[in-house]
Amino acid sequence: MHQYNNLFIILIFLYGNIACLAQTQEQEKMQKLSFMVGDWVGTSTELKNDSIMNKVPAYEKIRYKVEKHIMTIDLYSETLQLHTVIYYDKEEGNYFYQPFYKTGTASYPAELKKGKLIVKPNNDKRFIFSLTPEGKLMEYGEKRINDEWNRYFEDVLEKY
């Protein structure tokens, strides 16, 4: 009977270590997004044909949650309030970006390329998060029109 108890304890220990390894892979992928974490303040600019249509103050609070398995973005501006959850799905081998608006929610695949998180709602629209050389957080949205990417918004934020 004592041998079975020892075997049971060893099996539980091994299972726990395997579960930790799986968590670590997701956490490692999420750690690559650490450049986004912080409290950010700046401006959100609406663009049309490279012209500024509207410019408003914006604030973003970006945090890791659930032991760094997810990241949340809370955006506040005069024109948009948005709560977003970002996570990495190891089975899909992809990040996912899930914005929650007043009117509903969505889920978009995303990828990390050359230090930029690129969110792809569809083949003709994308959002890109990156840091500028000055350390500012930049997020911009682009729409493909006649095979050219045209910027339709740009948020530039500084840590405070």
pLDDT digits (tens, 9 = 90+) for 41-58: 999 999 988 888 999 999
DSSP character string of the chain: -HHHHHHHHHHHHHHHHHHHHHHHHHHHHHHTTGGG-EEEEEEEEEEETTEEEEEEEEEEEEEEETTTTEEEEEEEESS-EEEEEEEEETTTTEEEEEEEETTEE--EEEEEETTEEEEEEETTEEEEEEE-TTS-EEEEEEEEETTEEEEEEEEEEEE-
Q: So what's the pLDDT on residue 99?
A: 98
Q: What HEC string does 43-81 produce?
A: EEEEEECCEEEEEEEEEEEEEEECCCCEEEEEEEECCCE
Model confidence pLDDT, tens digit, residues 80-128: 999 999 999 999 999 999 999 999 999 999 999 999 999 999 999 999 9
Asked if the model's pLDDT at residue 22 lies above 80, the reply is: no
Q: What is the largest CA-CA distance in the chain?
A: 78
d(CA 126, CA 112) in angstroms, rounded, equals 13
| Domains of the chain and any CATH numbers | 2-159 (2.40.128.20)
**What average pLDDT is seen over the chain?**
89
- pTM beyond 0.85: the answer is no
Q: So what's the pLDDT on residue 51?
A: 86
pLDDT over 90, % of the chain = 79
Please name the residue that has the structure tokens 């990241």: 71
Q: Which residue has the higher pLDDT, 11 or 83?
A: 83
The structure tokens listed for 18 are 């395997």
pLDDT band at residue 11 using 50, 70 and 90 as cut-offs: very low
Q: So what's the pLDDT on residue 61?
A: 98
